[in-house]
Structure formats: C-alpha cells, structure tokens
Amino acid sequence: MKKYIYSIIGLFLVAAFFPMKVFAAGGVSVSPSSISMNVGESKTFTVTATNAAGRVDVSSNSGNVSVSPSTSWVENGSVTFTVTGNSQGSGVVTVTVVDVATFDGEDLSGQTRAVNVTVNKPAAPDPTPTPDPTPKPDPKPPVSPKTSGDEKSGNNDLKSITAEGYTFEKVDDTHYKLTVRHSVESIDIKATPDHAKATVTGAGKIALKEGENTVELVVTAENGNKKTYTIVITRKDNQYTLKDLDDALNDGDDVSVSIVEKDVVTKDMLTKIKNKRKLVRFTRYNEEKKSLFSWLVDGKKLKPTADLQSDVSFKFTNEEEFDSLADYRKGLYVQLNQKTAIPGVTLEVPAEDLFKGNDTAHLYGYDSSKKEIKLVDEEVKIKNGKVEIELGDLSQYFVTKATIGSKSKGGLFTKILLALILAGLVVLCIILTKNNKKEPEVVAVQEDVPVITSTDEPVETLSY
C-alpha cells in the first residue's frame, strides 16, 4: 500500500516542478464577414490570428472594390485592412492564409476567409430649399452638393497584358515573367486598364538586352491612385549547346553553338541545317572561354554525306616523321578526327600567333599511309588572324608560309635507285669506249710454197 502512495506523491511532485504548457486551439478569423458602403467610402475589417502566426494575402475579385494592404504578417493578434468602394456593385474580398501555423504546429496554409462587400449608390441629396423672399443680410450662395457623377474611380487594375506571339507567365497579381530567344531584340507590350478612365505608362516597344530586362507598368486610377505591375523579360544569350540545336535553328540567320570534347554533329543534324539553309558555327572553347576552333557549316552548300567528328588536335601523332620530310618548316599543325570530306563544311582555326591579320599561306596535307606531303591550297587567306581549311580526304594538315617540295619516302628511294642506274650506265659506257680504242691483232701471212704432188717416184727432200 505504501508503494502506491509513494507513486502518487511522485507524480504530483513531477507535475508541480515540470508543468506542461498547453495552448488553446488556434485559427484565423475575419470580422466583419460583410460590409456595406457607398461609392467613395472606405471601411475596415480585421483579420485575427488566435494562437497562430504567419502571412495572409488579401485580394478583391472585382474592380468595384479595392483593398489595402495586399499582404500582412499577423501573430497571435489582429491586423486591419481597408476596403474602398470604387463603383456601384458588389464584390468579394478574399483573405488567403499563405504561410500560417498554430502554436501547436498545425499548418493552416491554404485556408481562405471571405468578406462580402456591397457598394451602394450615394443617397440623393436634399432638394435645394426654396429661397425666402424676405431679404436677409449678406446671404451666402447655396453650396451645390456632389452628385454620383462627381465620384472618381480608384480602380487601378489591369485588364490584360499582351505581346503578339508571346504569353506572359503570372507570378502573382502584379508580377509577370517571360523568356525570349536571342534574336528578339525588342518586344511590343500592350496593357489595357480595367477602368476606362485609368491610364497606363511604361507599355509600348521595349528594347531588350541579353539577360534580364525589367519593365514596370504604372496604372493610375481616375482618382490618382497608382499601382505598379512588374514584368521580367529574359533574353537568351547567343550560345546554344549541341542538344539545343533545334531551338538554335529557329533563332536568327547566323547561329552559334558551343561544343565540347567528343561531340559529334550527326548526319540528321546536318540535314536539319541544310533544310533550314542557315550558317551554323560550332565552336570549341577553352577554360578561359577563348575560341580554340570553329566548324562552319553552310546550309546552302551542305551535302550531309557523313557525321562530323568535331575533335581537333594541334599536334601530329607522327610529328617527327613529318618534320623530317618538311625540312623542319615552321607552321601550324592541324590533326582531325574527321576522315572524310563533307561539302559545305570548313574548319576555322585561330592563327594569330603565326600569321599577321591578312597574310596568305600554303596549306599542305600529309598522307601518313604513303608518307607523302601534298600541296592542298597554294594560297590560303588569313582573315582576322584565322585560317579556314576546307575538308579533304586527309586528316592531317600543315599551314605555313614556307614552300615545301613534294616529298615522300617512296619518292626518295625511287630517285636514289634511278641515280644508281644512271651511274651504272655511265660506267658501262666508259668501259665500252675504252675497249673500242685497243690495237688490232696482226695476222702473219706466209709466202707461197711450191706444191709437190704425190707420185710413185721417191720424193726428194729439198733443203732451203
């Protein structure tokens, strides 16, 4: 029994020293929920947050009624908003709970509260009293009361914001955004006020720079109240990537596309360029955003016979072998991954380190399979420090101001062999010539000797 008593006493002590904090139920309420006023009058309503805190936005669904401010922070208390009757009619002011939570952690965001507003025509003034025929000293002229026609509208809303060919994306009630291509240098914005006697400034033809352009439209109501609408228009830069080629082909006549290592411009892509008949520049950049080289693809001359392998190196894999054949001439080495010619495609390479602005140079190709240097173009023009190379069936090119004779290892061997043969022929001719100059052999001719015929008689030996 004592054990239970001690337990109960312990619970009371815990409760005494560690009291639990309990909040009442939280919420957002609006008071009053309906308002009636005359044109030109202003009245208030209150938004109360009980055991809650956060942001509320307020808006009107009708030009008959305007409300301010449009947003406010409320924390376990009340905030007051002002409603103004602009013209006869009715409207609803909506209070949107944007980011509100109770102190117990309950999220109230997304809830709305409504205030119904009725704007009445002003009461007719009392009729002008009949003048008293009895003269009175210093009579004051009667003051003409205002009629409903004298009330000026406070409607400073926009009915529409348009630009031909474009649709503005709404961010909130007074903010819009739009993204356009690089080729769009200006845009004509038309803004129509909701009230016929309101005016708008800031619309019309707007010049666009690359990047973000902020346009402000100011709507001035008949009674002088102003409201600013902000439009952020982003004009893209002129640098597309290979995956953006379709968008790039729809953006102006001359198109620039950035490429990276191992990028391949496929036959299908080349066919699209041909069909669009546009000039597309595919440029490779280094880390400092400096151009390393560009492939120029002319859609008007293009014949898409193969994929374009875009990689380019400025060092030969067999450079030592080439240098020995080229007598170690100074020049620009260009080695391509592209193995076949594509009509309408040229390579543009910066060469200001080797050539002056408008120099001319010789373009040689190296056939590594035959170990042979060939003259491709006797006069290549250097334009603004850049040289253009039209694709052939070779993958190695050399640009130099020096003249290189047509050389090959096979040709040198042939020349040596011919020289040896010629030398042998010369030696043979010398030998033959010497043989023809020797003394002729002397043949001894014996004197006639008498002939003795054989007979039966003995032959007598004669002695001389």
pLDDT of residue 220: 96
pLDDT of residue 175: 95
pLDDT of residue 124: 59
pLDDT averaged per 10 residues in sequence order, the chain, 464 residues: 53 47 68 88 89 86 85 86 87 86 80 89 61 56 49 92 92 92 86 94 92 94 94 85 86 83 94 92 88 92 92 89 85 89 92 80 88 88 86 87 65 60 83 66 47 46 40
Positive or negative: CA dihedral 336, 340, 341, 345: negative
205-239 residue pLDDT tens: 999 998 899 999 999 999 999 999 999 999 887 67
Q: Which two tokens stand for residue 233?
A: 């228009």
Taking the complete model, does pTM exceed 0.95, yes or no?
no
pLDDT of residue 136: 56
Of 365, 315, 320, nearest to 339 (Cα)?
Answer: 365
Beta-bridge partners for 308:
265
State phi, psi for 321 to the nearest 5 degrees.
-65, -45
Of 197, 298, 204, 312, nearest to 262 (Cα)?
Answer: 312
* CA separation for the pair 157, 173 (Å, rounded): 10
pLDDT of residue 329: 82
CA angle centred on 357, ends 352 and 361, rounded to 5°: 80
State phi, psi for 225 to the nearest 5 degrees.
-65, 140
pLDDT of residue 193: 95
Q: Can you list the positions of beta strands (E) in 24-133? A: 27-31, 34-38, 42-50, 52-60, 65-68, 71-75, 78-85, 89-102, 112-120
End-to-end Cα separation, the chain, in angstroms: 190
pLDDT of residue 192: 95
pLDDT of residue 10: 54
* CA separation for the pair 22, 19 (Å, rounded): 9
* CA separation for the pair 265, 243 (Å, rounded): 10
State phi, psi for 374 to the nearest 5 degrees.
-120, 140
117-162 residue pLDDT tens: 898 877 655 555 555 555 555 555 554 444 445 688 999 999 999 9
Q: Any residues with CB less than 8 A from the CB of 14 and at least 6 apart, and which?
A: none
pLDDT of residue 431: 83
Q: Any residues with CB less than 8 A from the CB of 301 and at least 6 apart, and which?
A: 343, 344
Q: Which two tokens stand for residue 464?
A: 């001389």
Length of the chain equals 464
Of 123, 121, 64, nearest to 90 (Cα)?
Answer: 64
